Amino acid sequence: MTRPLDHLSMLERGLRDIFADRFQSLVAYGQNSRQSTADSRQSPAASTHASHPPPAPTPTMVIVESLAENDLRACAEAAAKWHDAGLATPLFLTAGELERSLDTFPLEFGAIIADYILVAGRDPFEGLAVDPADLRRACEVQARSHLLHLREGFLETHGRGDGVAVLIVRSAAPFAALLASIARLQGLETRDQTAAGRHAERELQLPPGVVTEVVQLAHVTEISAADAMRIFPAYLDAVERLTRYVDGWSER
């Protein structure tokens, strides 16, 4: 068990002050995957610049017995302090909502289940799992949406390299998250997005680096126009193959 950081302990105290004995659980998630990816090898495109985004706020999820309007007001008053401490706005659920939400948000909760730490209270995910059928459908929706976004986005750039660079960088993080979800669909639990990218390359029979180069761009703010024009054709082809793959996937 990872020891909670000071800012998470501060959040826990604030939540207990607001909800008292109605507080049930606090979990943080996403930290391990960000750390493992940050430590992974940079792609050639990423190494052409030194511009990196600031660390993302720590996402958390809170389970409470009940959640009334006055509770939301109290949390809203504390939100600025939480943000100043490097925390994202917590995701609040009442008891029972988590289990009923798994089939509605299989990608989102699947990602949390794959990479979370219990900060306080009982483990809300004990005995819970995302149904593979729900996850497959969600992966297909996301893959098709990503493909349509890339096609439309390219048209809107008018073929200009600087616009294509922005399109690739902005789409890299959702693409990396999609690949991680598909890896989980196949029973591969990995907190390393680059490893999920390599897995996709093998499954799609793509040359090494075609997918992982884009995945590693999820943690940069810009690439050159020349790199963008080199990357985009293979990126688009990979997403087209990925969409067909998920559409035809069946659990073995």
- Neighbour tally for 24: CB within 10 Å: 18
Low-confidence winner among 2-6, 105-109, 242-246 (lowest mean pLDDT): 2-6
Q: Looking at residue 53, what is its pLDDT?
A: 59
What CATH code is carried by the domain that includes residue 102?
A: 3.30.460
Provide the mean pLDDT of the chain.
Answer: 88
pLDDT tens track for 141-154: 999 999 999 999 99
Domain containing 24 equals: 6-121
Domain of 188, CATH number, reads 1.20.120
19 residue type, one letter: F
Cβ-Cβ contacts under 8 Å for 251 (sequence gap 6 or more)? 132, 136
Residues 115 and 191: beta-carbon distance below 8 Å: yes
Question: For position 1, what pLDDT does the model report?
Answer: 37
User: Alpha-carbon dihedral of residues 148, 152, 157, 163, nearest 10 degrees?
Assistant: -30
Q: Residue 102 contacts by C-beta under 8 Å, 6 or more apart in sequence?
A: 109, 128, 129, 130, 131, 134
Of residues 175 and 185, which shows the higher confidence score?
A: 175
Q: What is the pLDDT of residue 174?
A: 94
Residue 114 pLDDT: 86
Q: What gap in Å lies between CA 245 and CA 251, rounded to an integer?
A: 12
Q: Are residues 78 and 103 in the same domain?
A: yes
Split at pLDDT 50, 70, 90, the class of 45 is very low
Residues 215-236 have a mean pLDDT of: 96
Q: Is the pLDDT of residue 26 over 70?
A: yes
In a domain, 127, yes or no: no
Say if residue 4's pLDDT is above 90.
no
Q: Is residue 178 part of a domain?
A: yes
User: Are 13 and 110 within one domain?
Assistant: yes
